[in-house]
């Protein structure tokens, strides 16, 4: 097939993909309009999930390119161009992020998606965001103006750095000027730190702050590992397709696939290590402002396993074990398809549990109270039990000594009793 035929076929495939993308984007935009008019956060959550999925791929490709430039790596030159194409998505991702950024400024409920943006939003089990001690403590960072500034800065960092890298790379193809590679190497050395900071802030602002009560110091590196895995899986799928179509005939060698598989194995284990470490540390510490994040992703109100338990198992077996086994025997198709298909599940599991605003106080009430209803003899829906909670039960659940100065009932909002000298608490 001639070069012109290659370009014609590529343009045809690209046009079809563009049309399909525009159709589904229009459908999603209609959902956003419905959510905006009805005050329903679900369409915006779906938009954020999709945006996070594609953003993780672009971020992962950016980091791979930066790392390769820093080390003057020669083997990935063939596949680096695919990463450079993926990095071109950042201006479009910014455009798609604007509807979410418009919520706090133009919607009647600024906290439609991010609850902390509206002090009048009610929290399950107690009070409002404006009365929440944790929200007040985090307000210097979690406020609408600073949030918008950080969002623009985060996209600005990625757009500028990736734009320069793409410009110099394409210019090298035209002129062969080696100085472009030198400039890309210098920019990448600085860009690694800037992009790491921008990625961490973005992950915390856009995803972690959906549950602003939760505390985790590993979220940034956890998201980084997921981004690299998503990028490598996409690269595997793209290179397999391009090689099958003949675009990389005689260029892409088995050694390239072997190296990608090795990187995939390394970051699969790294992602599993970070995920397990975070779960193990939170489980061991047994602190309520951390454990509730996993509790609502595993259990229903009555203690039975919820639907997200199956998602958790799918991540263990589909997002870790299967890609790991595929990496050891260099089964590229298994690695790419499995990881990319479960990446969206990982993103959904991380940001959208059944009740993402369930707070430590609600968990405390849930795990230490019996099911009650407006009539103890009927089967009406469960409500929170407002009866006093036993202090010994609180200590047993969360491993907090009763006589400790830091164990206060008023740690949770609207609870004003010091339980170091009380036998029951009413919150």
Q: Are 296 and 352 in contact (CB under 8 A)?
A: no
- Lowest pLDDT segment from 47-51, 55-59, 401-405: 401-405
Shared domain check, 153 and 104 = yes
CA separation for the pair 159, 148 (Å, rounded): 16
Q: Residue 305 pLDDT > 90, yes or no?
A: no
The per-residue pLDDT for 356 is: 41
Shared domain check, 177 and 72 = yes
Shared domain check, 117 and 134 = yes
Q: What is the largest CA-CA distance in the chain?
A: 84
Phi, psi of 146 (to 5 degrees): -65, -35
Beta bridge partners of 128: 122
pLDDT tens digits along 7-18: 777 778 788 888
Shared domain check, 266 and 152 = yes
Percent of the chain with pLDDT over 90: 39
350 assigned to some structural domain: no
Helices (H) and strands (E) in the chain, counts: 15, 2
405 assigned to some structural domain: no
Shared domain check, 118 and 1 = no
Shared domain check, 138 and 1 = no
The per-residue pLDDT for 292 is: 82
Domain boundary among 266, 288, 310: 288
The per-residue pLDDT for 15 is: 87
Domain boundary among 240, 256, 288: 288
pLDDT tens digits along 100-117: 999 999 999 999 999 999
- Lowest pLDDT segment from 188-197, 214-223, 330-339, 411-420: 411-420
Comparing C-alpha atoms, which of 55, 138, 122, 78 is closest to residue 260? 78
Shared domain check, 108 and 50 = yes
Domain boundary among 288, 315, 350: 288
Give the burial class of 74: count Cβ atoms within 10 A of its Cβ; 0-12 exposed, 13-18 middle, 19 or more buried.
Answer: exposed
226 assigned to some structural domain: yes
Pairing of the two strands 424-425 and 389-390: antiparallel
The per-residue pLDDT for 380 is: 37
Shared domain check, 238 and 165 = yes
Beta bridge partners of 383: 372
Give the pLDDT band (50/70/90) at residue 330: low
395 assigned to some structural domain: no
User: Is the model more confident about 386 or about 189?
Assistant: 189
Q: Residue 243 pLDDT > 80, yes or no?
A: yes
The per-residue pLDDT for 67 is: 95
Q: Residue 94 pLDDT > 90, yes or no?
A: yes
Shared domain check, 26 and 122 = no
190 assigned to some structural domain: yes
Q: Which range marks the domain in which residue 235 is found?
A: 44-288
Number of domains in the chain: 2
120 assigned to some structural domain: yes
Shared domain check, 73 and 34 = no
All residues at 6 or more sequence positions from 69 whose CB lies less than 8 Å from its CB, including other chains: 165, 181, 184, 185, 187, 188
Most confident of 7-21, 37-51, 89-103, 255-269: 89-103
327 assigned to some structural domain: no
CA atoms within 13 A on the CB side of 105: 10
Shared domain check, 188 and 140 = yes
Stretch 250-265: mean pLDDT, rounded? 84
pLDDT tens digits along 141-194: 999 999 999 999 999 999 999 999 999 999 998 988 889 999 999 999 999 999
346 assigned to some structural domain: no
Q: Are 73 and 154 in contact (CB under 8 A)?
A: no
Shared domain check, 138 and 27 = no
């Amino acid at each position: 097939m001639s070069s012109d035929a290659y370009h014609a076929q590529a343009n045809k495939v690209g046009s079809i993909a563009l049309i399909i993308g525009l159709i589904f984007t229009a459908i999603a935009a209609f959902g956003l309009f419905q959510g905006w008019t009805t005050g329903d956060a679900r369409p915006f959550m779906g938009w954020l999930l999709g945006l996070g999925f594609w953003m993780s791929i672009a971020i992962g490709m950016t980091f791979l390119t930066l790392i390769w430039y820093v080390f003057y790596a020669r083997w990935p030159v063939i596949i680096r161009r695919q990463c450079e194409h993926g990095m071109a998505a950042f201006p479009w991702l910014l455009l798609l992020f604007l509807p979410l950024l418009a919520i706090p400024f133009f919607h009647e409920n600024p906290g439609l998606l991010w609850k902390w943006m509206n002090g009048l939003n009610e929290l399950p089990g107690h009070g409002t965001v404006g009365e929440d001690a944790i929200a007040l403590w985090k307000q210097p960072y979690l406020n609408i103006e600073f949030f918008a500034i950080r969002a623009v800065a985060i996209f600005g960092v990625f757009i500028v750095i990736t734009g320069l890298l793409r410009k110099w790379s394409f210019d090298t193809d035209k002129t062969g000027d080696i100085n472009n590679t030198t400039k890309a190497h210098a920019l990448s050395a600085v860009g690694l730190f800037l992009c790491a900071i921008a990625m961490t802030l973005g992950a915390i602002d856009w995803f972690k702050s959906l549950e602003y009560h939760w505390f985790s110091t590993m979220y940034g590196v956890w998201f980084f590992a997921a981004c690299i895995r998503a990028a490598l899986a996409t690269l595997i799928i793209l290179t397999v397709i391009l090689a099958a179509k003949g675009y990389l005939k005689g260029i892409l060698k088995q050694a390239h696939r072997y190296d990608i598989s090795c990187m995939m194995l390394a970051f699969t284990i790294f992602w599993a290590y970070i995920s397990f470490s975070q779960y193990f540390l939170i489980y061991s510490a047994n602190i309520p402002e951390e454990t509730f994040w996993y509790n609502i992703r595993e259990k229903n109100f009555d203690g039975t396993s919820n639907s997200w338990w199956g998602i958790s198992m799918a991540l263990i077996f589909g997002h870790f074990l299967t890609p790991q086994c595929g990496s050891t025997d260099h089964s590229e198709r298994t690695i790419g398809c499995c990881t990319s298909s479960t990446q969206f599940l990982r993103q959904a599991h991380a940001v959208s549990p059944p009740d993402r605003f369930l707070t430590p106080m609600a968990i405390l009430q849930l795990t230490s109270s019996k099911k009650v209803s407006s009539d103890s003899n009927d089967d009406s829906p469960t409500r929170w039990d407002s009866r006093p909670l036993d202090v010994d039960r609180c200590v047993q659940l969360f491993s907090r000594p009763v006589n400790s100065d830091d164990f206060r009932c008023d740690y949770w909002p609207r609870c004003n009793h010091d339980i170091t000298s009380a036998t029951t608490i009413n919150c």
